[in-house]
Amino acid sequence: MNNWNHIRPSNFEWEYFEDKHGRETSKVRKLITGEQYIWEASLRPGYLAESHWHPYDIVQIFLEGEFIAKGEGSFYPGDVRWVKAGHSSVEGAGANGSRFFLIALGGDIPLMWDDLYEAPTDLLNQLEERGNPVGSANVNEITAELFHDPHNRPTQPVKNICNESPWIIETTFAPDYSAGVHWHKNNTLYFIMNGEMEFGQEEPLYKTGDIRVVNGGYSYGPEKPGKEGVTFILISNGGPVDLNWSDIDTPPI
């Protein structure tokens, strides 16, 4: 079994998310399941999902249109939103619909309607202990800073989108930068927002719109951007984003 997955959403068919209660849902492309679920969702213009919650942390990367969350406002391309497990929200789409990546860190993405399913007490207690139940950021408004490497090897600038669970950053690689063979402690999700990237000889070339999922502890590389560089959003499933050089720290896998 591969320790990595290359996902090109255009290779997947759209289907309607099935709600066993017969309530209206939206179209999705189901891209990967397991320790992290990744879907691409497309909401029709004016769609409304009444109050509901999810059993796992959710991250949304907005690609087209306007997404609306009651009490939070509107979200557009360039925005990233995260919702912690157990939090209830009312959500919908603007006049032109909304398309976005929908990521669940830990398992499936069921719609748990509040009028039908009460969130477990232990989940609600955890939610209260975790601070703000929702958060968001416009990536274009975040100031980039150089990623710190304790071994003082060259790195690239990153934008820290969320510094708690879920841990999210955006990184841009200059065309002439290359990251040597390395590994991450946690399962890591890459969303190629612009440009191209190589992750080693075993994997295909990743292009704009592609997604990569790599298992924690798996060593790979070198990472090489295309001739125009590359920008990607990275999500670490289970802990902070780390960088472990394989010639210094032996990879577990």
pLDDT confidence tier of residue 39, bands split at 50, 70 and 90 = very high
Note the pLDDT of residue 1.
65
- Encode pLDDT of 169-205 as tens digits: 999 999 999 999 999 999 999 999 999 999 999 999 9
Q: Which two tokens stand for residue 14?
A: 């759209």
- Encode pLDDT of 205-253 as tens digits: 999 999 999 999 999 999 999 999 999 999 999 999 999 999 999 999 9
Average pLDDT, the chain: 98
Residues 54 and 147 in one domain: no
- Encode pLDDT of 61-84 as tens digits: 999 999 999 999 999 999 999 999
**Of 230, 226, 199, residue with least CA distance to 215:** 199
- Is residue 180 in a domain? yes
- Is residue 194 in a domain? yes
Residues 92 and 197 in one domain: no
Q: Are 180 and 214 in contact (CB under 8 A)?
A: no
Q: Cα separation of 91 and 81, whole Å?
A: 12
Structural domain count, the chain? 2
Note the pLDDT of residue 12.
99
Vertex 145: Cα angle to 227 and 102 (nearest 5): 75
Q: Are 243 and 149 in contact (CB under 8 A)?
A: yes
Residues 95 and 78 in one domain: yes
Which residue segment(s) compose the domain that 40 sits in? 4-139
Q: Are 39 and 107 in contact (CB under 8 A)?
A: no
- Is residue 146 in a domain? yes
Helix (H, G, I), strand (E, B) or coil at 243: coil
**Of 218, 216, 192, residue with least CA distance to 205:** 192
Residue with token string 């079994």:
1
Q: Cα separation of 174 and 58, whole Å?
A: 30
